[in-house]
Structure 1
Amino acid sequence: MSSMAEMEELQHDEQKLENKVRKKGKHNKPKPWDDDPNIDRWTIEKFDPAWNPTGMLEVSSFSTLFPRYREQYLQDSWPRVESALKEYGVACKLNLVEGSMTVSTTRKTRDPYIIVKARDLIQLLSRSVPAPQAIKILEDEMQCDIIKIGNLVRNKERFVKRRQRLVGPNSSTLKALEILTNCYILVQGSTVAAMGSFKGLKQVRKIVEECVQNIMHPVYHIKNLMMRKELEKDPALATESWDRFLPKFKKKNVQQKKPKSKKEKSYTPFPPPQMPRKIDYQLESGEHWLSDKKKSEKKWQEKQEKQTEKSTEKKRQRDASFLPPEEPMQNSNNSNKSEEGKKDITELTKSLKSKTKELKKQKKTHASVNAEEYIAVASGDKSSKKKSKVIKD
């Protein structure tokens, strides 16, 4: 009986499902334009003001703050921004006191989505995007994405290093990403501002987040995108999977082997012996069975011994400063040298004395000599020398 009841319940459920499918099929009938090859469903049609002739019912406004270093640039380029928004019927205001930019709809606004585009414009201007580039966001085909990367890494040094990795040497990595994704990318502070199509923005966000989180280097993404760009040219591969052509990169963490310690080298499966406790030491020394009075006396005695040792050491250090320095001992060589030096001095004194005596004798002889006779003799000697020379010639 139970099996029959179960069969009836299953049939009842199947009938319910069939009824549901029939009801769903009523509303999902094929339309004549579903299979029309002339219709491109991905194209964004340009807004026609005739679609909304009455304008907006309510005033919508957005405001954003900007850093102080952008104040001068925004003040200079604000007329250009104002004229670009005026074409779409959007009012804008720059408040330098509060440091904010505000955009709001007016009676002339016809496109209801343009206020969202204007909000993106002031956000891009506050993130250091140049005004000519930021104004392009007002076009229907252009979208933007501001990626916050400041909270992805805690360490500031790592964050700066990974942000520089995204930019690359001489901004080469950033330029390559811009070409491959067809997006404008600007790295500023703790955010990355990107402008382009939805597909390109999705790729940029993935690349930026994986770079900052250290999941994959941007260079590997560039290689992947270059391969995809080449594969898109071949129409035969349009319906096939490209996984076999694309490069596969795996993150490898090579762990360095730590040098083995002595304990690790002499490893034994048995645990080390238990360290003796304080009670064990007391049992060995016999202190455990002493009375409290004797224990206290022993402690006091040990304390006194330590004090005496310290006092003697300090006294020795104090007395060391009063000890006279040791005189250098004269060696046998030095004594011989000194004796030789004494002998030399005695000889010098004797020679000096003899020389002084000779000088005194010479002075006495010079005093008795007649100067005229000496001159005459000298002249006669000279003439005789001359004569002798002439004879020789």
Structure 2
Amino acid sequence: MNAVASSSGTQNGSSGKKSKTNVEMEEADQVVNKNKRHRKDKPWDTDDIDHWHIEPMPQPDPLSHKPFLEESSFALLFPKYREPYLRSVWSSITTALQSHGLACELDLVQGKMTVKTTRKTWDPYIVFKGRDLLKLLARGVNAPQALKVLQDDIACDVIKIGGLVRNKERFVKRRQRLVGPNGSTLKAIELLTECYVLVQGNTVSAMGTFKGLKEVRRIVIDCMNNIHPIYRIKELMIKRELAKDPKLVNENWDRFLPKFQRRHLKTSEKTAKKNAVLEKKAQAQQAAAENPNAIPLPPVPTTAAKKKTYTPFPPPQQPSKLDLQMASGEYFLKPKEREVIEKRKREERQAAKAEERRATREEAFIPPPEHVEASVAEKKMKKKKRKLEEE
């Protein structure tokens, strides 16, 4: 009996294990994404909840308020040229921070600004807002505009663009694209993203909502990667119009957005494209040669450079700057004499350039040649001369 019972027990246990493994396999088949396998249903998280809504935090009653256990502080450095402006507006900044329960210090010796909590501080996150305020002031934002970052619905983002482009001239040109002619591109970005944007030095400072700051960062980084801001501006304009249509609010907008292709081709792609054009022209000329009545095509212009003759010898070494100075005798002059000569050359170049500019300015004031008709007496004299010449 015991043997039978044990055997039946093992059979039931094995069948139970098999059923468990089958259930686990079915559950594993249902879960597609591994990142979401530990997620659980949240019945309290319904669609009518606005996750972007920020709950206000009013000032508590002074009697019931309890101070923080420890003091939090942030210190930031500021450039030397911002010192006069910060000294002039520091009183207003101190007053604004005191209304939120924060204290601030301006150290002109070390070039440092400090913000810290006090016993009156009730909002634990306001010290981060104060840090952002000092960061914006150091980056050139005016005090009235920078003080808006203390509001709950406004955040800031300082985008570092100095290390995104290696070439200095290319960096300056791409940074100028963000501003545009007379600041038109920057104004369009501010209107579409509802953010304040300031381009200065190696950073771009932005203030606004979280969604707007995300778009601004995308536009700035794409511009530094040689994608013109006008493409992103056009995309934002289309999205704004689509958001107004209630039928398209919850649909995918990819079919409405423009697809921009890069015009810059690789060297291999350019060569392949050029070979395809040449092959097409050759086929057309061959077909024309087979048909005598066809109109002959003009020859295809070739842009190939002339074949250079190979020489195993390197090119002759060019004289250096010191060699030229020794040949002209300038190298043996005293430093003062050399400065006098350089100053004289510089003045001559400046005088020639000034004369050229003056001539171009005075061209607009030169009157055109006037055509004056000859008088009656002059006409008679001309007739007499003609008669005398004929005789």
What is the TM-score of this pair, normalised by structure 1?
0.59
Name the structure 2 match of 1:126. 138
Name the structure 2 match of 1:45. 55
Alignment partner of 1:145: what SS?
strand
Cα distance in structure 2, aligned partners of 1:62 and 1:17? 53
2:251 is equivalent to residue 243 of structure 1: no
- How far 1:238 sits from its partner (Å)? 1.2
Residue among 189, 193, 196 paired with 2:208 = 196
Rg larger for: 1
Name the structure 1 match of 2:21. 13
2:107 is equivalent to residue 95 of structure 1: yes
2:233 is equivalent to residue 225 of structure 1: no
Most deviating of 229-238 and 46-55: 46-55
CA-to-aligned-CA distance 1:318-373 (integer Å, 9 cap, x gap): xxxxxxxxxxxxxxxxxxxxxxxxxxxxxxxxxxxxxxxxxxxxxxxxxxxxxxxx
What are the within-5 Å matches in structure 2 for residues 295-314 of structure 1? none
Q: CA RMSD in A?
A: 3.2
Name the structure 2 match of 1:178. 190
Change (3 A) 1:253 1:87: same
Alignment partner of 1:115: what SS?
helix
Q: Which amino acid is 2:75 matched to?
A: S
Residue among 127, 130, 134 paired with 1:115 = 127
- How far 1:85 sits from its partner (Å)? 0.2
- How far 1:7 sits from its partner (Å)? 9.4
Cα distance in structure 2, aligned partners of 1:230 and 1:27? 37
Unmatched 5+ residue regions in structure 1? 1-5, 265-393
Alignment partner of 1:187: what SS?
strand
- How far 1:252 sits from its partner (Å)? 1.1
> Matched residue pairs, number?
255
Change (3 A) 1:14 1:105: farther
CA-to-aligned-CA distance 1:238-277 (integer Å, 9 cap, x gap): 122212211111111156779325669xxxxxxxxxxxxx
Cα distance in structure 2, aligned partners of 1:238 and 1:25? 31
Percent identical across equivalent pairs?
A: 55
Change (3 A) 1:26 1:261: closer
Cα distance in structure 1, aligned partners of 2:173 and 2:258? 26
What are the within-5 Å matches in structure 2 for residues 1-393 of structure 1? 11-16=19-24, 28=41, 30-31=43-44, 34-35=45-46, 37=48, 39-50=49-60, 53-214=65-226, 216-254=227-265, 259-261=303-305
Q: Which amino acid is 2:143 matched to?
A: A
Change (3 A) 1:263 1:126: same
Unmatched 5+ residue regions in structure 2? 1-13, 31-36, 272-301, 309-391
Alignment partner of 1:236: what SS?
coil
What is the TM-score of this pair, normalised by structure 2?
0.60
Cα distance in structure 2, aligned partners of 1:26 and 1:200? 30
Change (3 A) 1:93 1:233: same
Cα distance in structure 2, aligned partners of 1:130 and 1:178? 17
Cα distance in structure 2, aligned partners of 1:65 and 1:26? 44
CA-to-aligned-CA distance 1:289-339 (integer Å, 9 cap, x gap): xxxxxxxxxxxxxxxxxxxxxxxxxxxxxxxxxxxxxxxxxxxxxxxxxxx
Alignment partner of 2:60: what SS?
helix
Alignment partner of 1:50: what SS?
coil
Change (3 A) 1:110 1:172: same
Q: Which amino acid is 1:139 matched to?
A: Q
Alignment partner of 1:135: what SS?
helix
CA-to-aligned-CA distance 1:65-104 (integer Å, 9 cap, x gap): 0001100000000011000000011000001111110000
Change (3 A) 1:92 1:25: closer
CA-to-aligned-CA distance 1:35-68 (integer Å, 9 cap, x gap): 484x533210111333982121110000100001
Cα distance in structure 2, aligned partners of 1:148 and 1:74? 23
Which structure carries more helix by proportion? 1
Cα distance in structure 2, aligned partners of 1:26 and 1:204? 33
- How far 1:18 sits from its partner (Å)? 8.2
Alignment partner of 1:94: what SS?
strand
Q: Which amino acid is 1:13 matched to?
A: T
- How far 1:13 sits from its partner (Å)? 2.9
Change (3 A) 1:19 1:157: closer
CA-to-aligned-CA distance 1:151-202 (integer Å, 9 cap, x gap): 0011111101100011101111000000000000000100000000110000
Alignment partner of 1:152: what SS?
coil
- How far 1:11 sits from its partner (Å)? 3.9
Cα distance in structure 1, aligned partners of 2:236 and 2:41? 38
